[in-house]
C-alpha cells in the first residue's frame, strides 16, 4: 500500500513520542503472560487436554481443566468457557437470565448498556419476544457523572429504597457511548459500596474489550459475575467462537443452569475439537491485547494531530482496546471504515456500507477484515450512523498490521475531508 509522505512523517513522529508508552505496555504483556503461564503450569497443561469430545461431552477433561484455568486467571472461584456461546451478548443473556427471577430489578449503574442488550432487557423491540421484561423483571438505570465516574449517592439511595434490586450491572467499556471506560479500581470501589449496603446483590460486569488491559480483572476485586466474548480480547485471535463467564461459585453455577439445564449445568457440552484453539488463544491473549493497545495509541496520536476529537488521548490510561474518533459526518465515518477495511488482511477489496444490523436501533457501518467473522481483537472499526458519527476502532493482531490499517484510515479520511472543503 502507498501512503502519502505527510502521513508517513506523522506516523514516525507518533512512534517517537509513544516509545515510552510502548515500553509500559510490553511490561503489561509480560505480567499478564506470566499469570496465564502460572495457571497452565499449576494445572499441568499437556497435549492430552487438547483432545475432543462429542455428544454429551461428559468427562471432557480438557474442557473442565480449561474452566479451572480460566477461573484462576480471572481471579474467580469458578468459570466456564464455551464455543456454543455465539457472542458477548449471548453470554451476557445467559448470565442475566441465570441470576434474575420474576419481580427482580436489574439495575444498570453505568448508563445505558450496549445496543444489543436493549431487546434482551426489554427497553427496545417487542417485550413479548422473551425479554427480561416479558418475564416480569424490571429495569432501572443511573448514568455516570459528567466526570465519567459512578454516582454513588444516587446508587446507594436506590439500593436502600429498592429491596427488589437483584443485579447491579456494570458495562466496563463505552459501547456506543462517548464516555470513558471504567477501570478495575473504579469497579472495586463500586463493589465495596454495593456490598456494604446490599450483600445479597450480585454485581455483574460486562467485561468485553477490557480483558488483559490491566493486571487484574473485575473478579479479583469482588465482582460476582464477569462476562465476555472469546472473539474479543481473551481468545487471542485464535478462538473462532465462544464466550466465558467467571465469578463466584454460586453465580457461575446458576449461569451454567441457564446455559444447559438445571441439574446439568457445565458438566456437559461437547468441545468438538476446539480445546486446543481455546488454550492457545488464552496463551496468546496478553500479548495480542497489547498489540491492539499499541495500535490504539497510534490511532489516538495520529487522528488527534489531524484535528479530530479522540478518546482516550494517546498518553492517557487505557482500560479497554477501544479507540474512538469523532469523524463529524456520515461520509467521514464511512471513509474511516473504508480505510480500515482496505488495510485489513481479509476482504480488503470490500467497501463497507451502512445497514440495518440485527440488534441495533440505528444503521451501523462496520469494517471487519478478519480471519474470524466479527472478531473484534482483529483489526476492525464500526459505528452507528448518528451524530457525532463516532468511529469505534479496536484490535490488531500485530502492531505492524494495525499500523497499516491506521495509516489507510487516515489517508481515506483526509481524502474525504478534502472533498468537502
Mean pLDDT of 88-105: 98
pLDDT of residue 179: 87
Instruction: Report the DSSP beta bridge partners of residue 80.
Output: 245
CA distance 421 to 414: 11
Low-confidence winner among 69-83, 250-264, 322-336, 406-420 (lowest mean pLDDT): 406-420
Q: Kindly indicate the confidence band of residue 1, based on its pLDDT and cuts at 50, 70 and 90.
A: confident
Percent of the residues in the chain that have a pLDDT greater than 90, as a whole number = 93
What is the mean pLDDT of the segment spanning 189-193?
98
Please give the pLDDT value at position 313.
97
Residue 223: alpha-carbon gap to chain centroid: 16
Q: With 80 as the cut, is the pLDDT of residue 420 above it?
A: no
For residue 283, with 0-12 CB atoms within 10 Å meaning exposed, 13-18 middle and 19 or more buried, which class applies? middle
Q: 11: closest CA among 403, 276, 359?
A: 403
> Cβ distance 39 to 71 under 8 Å?
no
pLDDT band at 242 (very low <50, low <70, confident <90, very high): very high
**pTM for the structure as a whole:** 0.95
Q: What is the DSSP string of 361-397?
A: SS-EEEEE--SSTT-TTSSEEEEESSTT-EEEEE--S
pLDDT tens sequence across 359-390? 777 899 999 999 999 899 999 999 999 999 99
312 prior amide bond cis, ω within 30: yes
Mean pLDDT score, 389-401: 95
Contact 279, 70 (CB under 8 A): no
The candidate with the shortest Cα–Cα distance to 135, out of 103, 91, 162, is: 103
- How many other C-beta atoms lie within 10 A of the C-beta of residue 68? 14
Average pLDDT of every residue of the chain = 96
Q: Residue 205: enclosing H or E segment and its boundaries? A: strand 202-206
Within 10 angstroms of residue 421's Cβ, the number of other Cβ atoms is: 4
Name the pLDDT band for 421 (thresholds 50, 70, 90): low
Using the predicted structure, report yes or no on whether residue 193 has a pLDDT greater than 70: yes
Q: Is the pLDDT of residue 127 over 80?
A: no
- Are 148 and 180 spatial neighbours (Cβ–Cβ below 8 Å)? yes
204-208, 285-289, 361-365: lowest mean pLDDT where? 361-365
Q: Please report, for the chain, the start and end positions of each structural domain, with discontinuous segments joined by +.
A: 5-32+283-420, 51-273
CATH topology agreement for domains 5-32+283-420 and 51-273: no
Residue 413 in contact with residue 383, Cβ under 8 Å? no
Distance in angstroms (rounded) separating the CA atoms of residues 216 and 102: 34
pLDDT at residue 115 greater than cutoff 90: no
Which among 251, 160, 153, 151 is positioned nearest to 198, based on CA atoms? 160
Average the pLDDT over 179-204 and give the result: 97
Closest listed residue to residue 288, CA positions, set 325, 238, 341, 345: 238
CA distance 244 to 305: 38
**DSSP character string of 115-135:** GGGHHHHTSSS-GGGT-TGGG
Q: What is the DSSP letter of 42?
A: H
C-alpha span between 34 and 29 (Å, rounded):
8
With CA atoms as reference, report the closest residue to 180 among 233, 109, 110.
110
First to last CA, the chain: 26
Residues pairing with 367 in the sheet: 381
Predicted confidence (pLDDT) at residue 104 exceeds the cutoff of 70: yes
State the fold for domain 51-273: 3.40.640
Residue 178: predicted pLDDT: 80
Considering the segment(s) 5-32+283-420 as one domain, its CATH architecture is Alpha-Beta Complex (3.90)
Half-sphere exposure of 393 (CA within 13 A, CB side): 37
Mean pLDDT of 164-173: 98
Amino acid at each position: 500500500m502507498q501512503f502519502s509522505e505527510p502521513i508517513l512523517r506523522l506516523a514516525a513522529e507518533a512512534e517517537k513520542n509513544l516509545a515510552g508508552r510502548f515500553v509500559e505496555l510490553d511490561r503489561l504483556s509480560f505480567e499478564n503472560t506470566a499469570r496465564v503461564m502460572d495457571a497452565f503450569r499449576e494445572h499441568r497443561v499437556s497435549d492430552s487436554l487438547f483432545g475432543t469430545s462429542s455428544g454429551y461431552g461428559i468427562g471432557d477433561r480438557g474442557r473442565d481443566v480449561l474452566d479451572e484455568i480460566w477461573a484462576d486467571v480471572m481471579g474467580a472461584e469458578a468459570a466456564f468457557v464455551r464455543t456454543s456461546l455465539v457472542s458477548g451478548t449471548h453470554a451476557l443473556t445467559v448470565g442475566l437470565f441465570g441470576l434474575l427471577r420474576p419481580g427482580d430489578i436489574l439495575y444498570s449503574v453505568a448508563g445505558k448498556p450496549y445496543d444489543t442488550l436493549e431487546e434482551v432487557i426489554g427497553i427496545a423491540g417487542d417485550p413479548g419476544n422473551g425479554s427480561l421484561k416479558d418475564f416480569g423483571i424490571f429495569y432501572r438505570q443511573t448514568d455516570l457523572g459528567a466526570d465519567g465516574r459512578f454516582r454513588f449517592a444516587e446508587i446507594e439511595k436506590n439500593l436502600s429504597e429498592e429491596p427488589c434490586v437483584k443485579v447491579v450491572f456494570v458495562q466496563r467499556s463505552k459501547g456506543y457511548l462517548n464516555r470513558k471506560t471504567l477501570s478495575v479500581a473504579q469497579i472495586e470501589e463500586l463493589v465495596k459500596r454495593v456490598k456494604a449496603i446490599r450483600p445479597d446483590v450480585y454485581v455483574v460486569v460486562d467485561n468485553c474489550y477490557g480483558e488483559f488491559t490491566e493486571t487484574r480483572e473485575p473478579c479479583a476485586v469482588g465482582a460476582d459475575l464477569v462476562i465476555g466474548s472469546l472473539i474479543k480480547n481473551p481468545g487471542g485471535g485464535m478462538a473462532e467462537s465462544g464466550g466465558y463467564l467467571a465469578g463466584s461459585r454460586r453465580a457461575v453455577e446458576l449461569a451454567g443452569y441457564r446455559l444447559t439445564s438445571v441439574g446439568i449445568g457445565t458438566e456437559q457440552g461437547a468441545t468438538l475439537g476446539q480445546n486446543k484453539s481455546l488454550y492457545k488463544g488464552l496463551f496468546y491473549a496478553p500479548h495480542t491485547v497489547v498489540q491492539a493497545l499499541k495500535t490504539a495509541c497510534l490511532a489516538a496520536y495520529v487522528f488527534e494531530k489531524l484535528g479530530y476529537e479522540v478518546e482516550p488521548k494517546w498518553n492517557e490510561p487505557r482500560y479497554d482496546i477501544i479507540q474512538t474518533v469523532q469523524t463529524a459526518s456520515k461520509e467521514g465515518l464511512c471513509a474511516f471504515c473504508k480505510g480500515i477495511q482496505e488495510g485489513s488482511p481479509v476482504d480488503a477489496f470490500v467497501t463497507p456500507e451502512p445497514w440495518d444490523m440485527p440488534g441495533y436501533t440505528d444503521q451501523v457501518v462496520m469494517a471487519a477484515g478478519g480471519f474470524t467473522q466479527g472478531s473484534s481483537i482483529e483489526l476492525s472499526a464500526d459505528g452507528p450512523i448518528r451524530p457525532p458519527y463516532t468511529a469505534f476502532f479496536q484490535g490488531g493482531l500485530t502492531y505492524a498490521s494495525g499500523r497499516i490499517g491506521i495509516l489507510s484510515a487516515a489517508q481515506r479520511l483526509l481524502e474525504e475531508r478534502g472533498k468537502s472543503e
